[in-house]
A and B are shown apart, each in its own frame.
Chain A
Amino acid sequence: MQASSNLLNWILWTPFLGVLGVLFIPKSKEGLIRWWALINTAITFVLTLVLYSKFDITVPGMQEAFNVKVPWISSFNIFYSLGVDGISLPMIVLTGLLFMLCIMSSWTITKQIKGYFALFLFLQSTVFGVFFALDFFLFYVYWEVMLIPMFFLIGIWGGENREYAAVKFFLYTFFGSILMLVGMVALYYASGKGVDSFNILALHGGRFSNLTIDLFGTTMSFSKLFFVFLFIGFAIKVPVFPFHTWLPHAHVQAPTAVSVILAGVLLKMGTYGFLRIAYPIFPGASVHFADAIAWLGLINVIYGAFCAMAQTDVKKLVAYSSVSHMGFVMLGLAAMTVTGMNGAVLQMFNHGTSTAMMFLLIGILYERSHHRWIVRPDGSKGFGGLYTQLPKFSIVFIIAMFASMGLPGLSGFISEALIFLGIYEKFTTITVLALIGLLLGAAYLLWMFKRMFFGDVIEECKSYTDMNAREIAYMIPLCVAVVVFGIYPAPVLNVMRASVGKLVSMLATY
């Protein structure tokens, strides 16, 4: 193996070492635990940046230089094989960044700090695993293992209704991934149990397009059936329309940092799954279902926006807004054009940053107010005149808000524009309708902003203090990212261009 090829291992296992470290630090030394976790994530983030710097943007597909491939279960040809390409790299850097910031934002956690940080670092490790895995079995294992820390993080440190949310999240995702498991095993046989029957890359291409299976006498296409299986598996994570209802619960109940990770990274896993597994393995089927995906994406956009507008809990509002924004990603994926796909991946990244900002800000606010009502059930204002009370906070909030509603010059716009450019040729009607979603997106955010920030400071807001140094410190990187990638997206786009292009050109032959 080359010298640099252990980099992925390092990125993957550094958080895990962090977990061990946390376990060995005695419970009483809380400060030490916090700093340890922070340093650990910081190192991880630096490593991801190193990875970015060593990344060769001209190479489409996997970067051989980084690949790691160690036999795991030889009798099944299951390998511990990691790799990185232009699609996963942005996600990886995003993960590194967000986890670091979330650790900083979790400074205020007081309940069972040890367990919290241990689980959090463990979560990071598993997330990296999902993005690195090139072996379907490994991917699945990480995909599932990730649920355990999430379950506990939501269930122990969450809000008043946390258990319900945690269980719901767990069951929902598990339901999807079981179907994925069936699909995986079926693929294992369909690919002839060969040396690379779990190797995702080897499964790529339309190897299964003309297989058929018969259920109850009706012959149906293998690829179509199992594309649907995988689709459900991933769609639940995204979440795509009929499977979205876990999201509001999970987001609202989860502690700030966790909902940041949930919205910023975990949702992206669903779409990443499409790009890495569902599309390349079943290109024919994915082209066949493109219309359905597009319509679902449209429903996400519109429906999410409508629901968001009706919310009186600001965190729930943002949760629904990310349903709506992930809808854009689905649209981009449905387009299967260079613009659409690149737009989708970019949107995955940008939504990661902007929605993370939103959730962090809401968390900051919550630490002061201990409630999240825009309008209380009794109709009284929950917040008012924050603009006057918290000037710094408001400025950051404005940036976040306009970024997530896609104001040009901030990151959201370019990805959405690309997505629209991508889908216009294919689905004009859908484009027109989706643009309404753009409109609504602005509407609910501005309305929320108006109700919370304008006007006179209401009595209970008078006591709030503005952001402190720590909070500013972890908001700044996101602000920078949002602005810089809004003005000059090339650093992200160049990385993904080749890999996405490869995928698109492969899909285009179907």
Chain B
Amino acid sequence: MGQNYLASLSHFIPELLACLTMFGLILIEATYKEEQKGRGFLFLAAGLGLASVTVFSFFALGKEPVAIFTNSLIIDSFSSSMKMIMVLGTLGAVYLTSQSSDIEGNLKPEFIIMATGVLVGGMLLSSANNMLVLFIGIETLSILSYVLASLKKGDERSSEAGLKYSLYGGISSGIMLFGMSHIYGVVGTINFTEIAIVLKSVDQTQIAILLPAFLFFFVGIGYKIACVPFHMWAPDVYEGSPLPVTTFFSIVPKVAGLAALIRVSQTFFATPGALNIGWVGVLSIVAALTMTVGNVSAIGQRSVKRMLAYSSISHAGMMLMGVLVISELGTRSVIFYSVAYLFMTLVAFYVVSFVSDKYGNDHFERFTGLVFRYPLMAIAMCIVMFSLAGIPPFSGFVAKFHIFTALLVKKYYVLAVIAGLNSVVSLYYYLKIVRLMMLKDAESTESISGFSIMNQSAVLALTIPVVILGIFWEKLIIMADGAKVFLQ
């Protein structure tokens, strides 16, 4: 199965390109330190690099799945699509960085570089096929994220966020490793494929060890997805870190973690048995809790950013629903959900960022009567909010619909109902913003300013998919259908 390394490299181009972009950016950063034009150049380079990554991973989509580097990485259409999503998310975050005034100018390049690094980690994670790569991926992701979290120099909140993140990351990756070690002890290999084979025939005592071990293992991924009860760092970090960073965090690490989780679940726990039952049970409890806690906490928030952070937690729970049905339907639904979620989150954070740049903070009151000041922004935000709540004809609804299809084919009626009720609760706080924006009269009616045509077009360009994918979603679902996890 293993191919020689040069051959493997040909499948590894996206990751390589990402690394290349990273290095290139570092060089550019090093050459032009302070000049403005250099920064523009930098953004351009970053854009081009990431775009090329997207292109390549897009071309990797249709291809036969291959296991490269002695079967330590698997490049299949599933991983490629996840990668694409991550790259797009990074692009979005990068663009936001270029516009946002939440990060001082001289930190923006750093952010981009780090983000690319995180992206690389995510890509590794999404196609990791043995524990080592998984671990490396997670660490790459985490360590750079710690830095990102504490990006704001001299801002104590930011640094505190970084601190917490790092400590939390440290302990959870430690626990994960501890779990891994025991798994390795029992099954005698770190390669997923072989583990899967071994797992087919394990006796009772081994299971007694494996179950806790896998739980420890889950901690590592779970905290990346920020699912209850490993979510507690998330709000603090999301709040503490600059807005583009938050945007980035609420997309890329989540998607990466989900990718890893899906692969793990599908490789290890596809076969029914004690392990399967235990894993699914844990996941379903976690998913239900995640959604509920996320929504309930989101209701009480004053800051929209924080509200979105919590809502992203609840959406992670929703996606976990798609994971815990260990099936291709689930995978498909998760991919679709991630795509929809990507666009929705980006638009939402864009709007929040523009608003908070203009008015200093992003409390709900700032959104009052937004429609009279920035109609486009308000309407886009409206659409996104409805979409996040899962109201047709927007992509959020379709995503939810697919999650339901995945759940109900396995007859998880209770989970489905819980998910449904949660989306009702979520509608409540999404409506809160809509209400403020559309129904309230503006506290002050300034003319449309500070919202450049470029940003407008960006928001528009990101909103259109939210609508289109809600009505003509067949192409995407077929694509997602093709993106199966490669099992040997």
Contacts and interface: CB of A to CB of B under 8 A. Distances in A.
A147 B391 contact: yes
B408 to A, nearest CB: 5
Contacts of B420: 178-179, 181-182
Contact of A156 (B416, B423, B438): B438
A178 B409 CA distance: 17
Contacts of B35: none
Contact of B417 (A152, A162, A167, A179): A179
Interface stretch (B223-231, B299-307, B470-478): B470-478
Nearest to A229: B417
A140 B431 contact: no
Given A167-B431, A178-B421, A182-B413, A162 B408 contact: no
B435 interface: yes
Interface string A425-438: 00000000000000
Interface in A133-185: 140-141, 144-145, 147-148, 151-152, 155-156, 162-163, 166-167, 170-171, 174-175, 178-179, 181-182, 185
Interface stretch (B46-54, B336-344, B397-405): B397-405
A182 B392 contact: no
Contacts of B408: 182, 185-186, 188-189
B385 to A, nearest CB: 11
B439 interface: yes
A188 B478 CA distance: 18
Contacts of B74: none
Contacts of A74: 474
A3 interface: no
A213 B434 CA distance: 40
A75 interface: yes
B393 A181 contact: no
Interface residues of B, number: 34
A162 B435 CA distance: 10
B386 interface: yes
A182 B409 CA distance: 11
Interface in B301-332: none
B428 interface: yes
Nearest to B440: A163
Nearest to A186: B408
B409 to A, nearest CB: 6
B438 A213 contact: no
B411 interface: yes
Contacts of A145: 391-393
A215 B412 CA distance: 9
Given A171-B431, A178-B423, A185-B408, A144 B391 contact: yes
B428 A213 contact: no
A73 interface: yes
A73 B401 contact: no
A163 B424 contact: no
Interface string B418-446: 00110110011001001100111000000
Nearest to B390: A178
Interface of B is mostly: helix
A181 B404 contact: yes
Interface in A389-404: none
Question: Which of A72, A148, A171 has the most chain B CB atoms closer than 10 A to its own CB?
Answer: A148
Interface in A59-81: 72-76
Contact of B392 (A75, A76, A141): A141
Nearest to A190: B408
A166 to B, nearest CB: 7
Contacts of A225: 413
Given A73-B474, A185-B408, A155 B439 contact: yes
Contacts of B435: 155, 163, 166-167
B167 interface: no
B189 to A, nearest CB: 38
A181 B389 CA distance: 14
Counting contact residues on chain A (CB < 8 A from B), the size range is: 20 to 34
A213 B413 CA distance: 9
Given A175-B424, A179-B417, A185 B473 contact: no
B160 interface: no
Nearest to B424: A175
B413 A174 contact: no
Interface in A169-211: 170-171, 174-175, 178-179, 181-182, 185-186, 188-189
B405 A185 contact: yes
Nearest to A193: B409
A188 B402 CA distance: 12
A148 B386 CA distance: 9
Interface in B373-402: 386, 389, 391-393, 397, 400-401
B424 A174 contact: yes
B285 interface: no
A144 B438 CA distance: 19
B413 A186 contact: yes
Contacts of B397: 141, 144
B474 A182 contact: no
Contacts of B481: 75
B414 interface: yes
B438 A155 contact: yes
Contacts of B427: 170-171, 174
Contacts of B478: 75
A185 B401 contact: yes
Contacts of B401: 181, 185
Contacts of B404: 181-182, 185
Contacts of B424: 171, 174-175, 178
A144 B392 contact: yes
A493 B161 CA distance: 70
Given A155-B439, A188-B405, A170 B431 contact: yes
Contacts of A147: 391
Top 6 nearest A-B pairs (CB, nearest first) are A178-B420, A141-B392, A155-B439, A185-B404, A144-B392, A73-B474
18 contacts: A75-B474, A75-B477, A75-B478, A144-B392, A147-B391, A152-B438, A152-B439, A162-B439, A163-B440, A166-B435, A167-B431, A181-B400, A182-B404, A182-B417, A182-B420, A185-B404, A189-B405, A225-B413
Given A174-B391, A175-B421, A189-B409, 11 more contacts: A73-B473, A76-B477, A141-B392, A156-B438, A174-B389, A182-B408, A182-B417, A185-B401, A185-B404, A186-B408, A215-B414
Interface of A: 72-76, 140-141, 144-145, 147-148, 151-152, 155-156, 162-163, 166-167, 170-171, 174-175, 178-179, 181-182, 185-186, 188-189, 213, 215, 225
Interface of B: 386, 389, 391-393, 397, 400-401, 404-405, 408-409, 411, 413-414, 416-417, 420-421, 423-424, 427-428, 431, 434-435, 438-440, 473-474, 477-478, 481
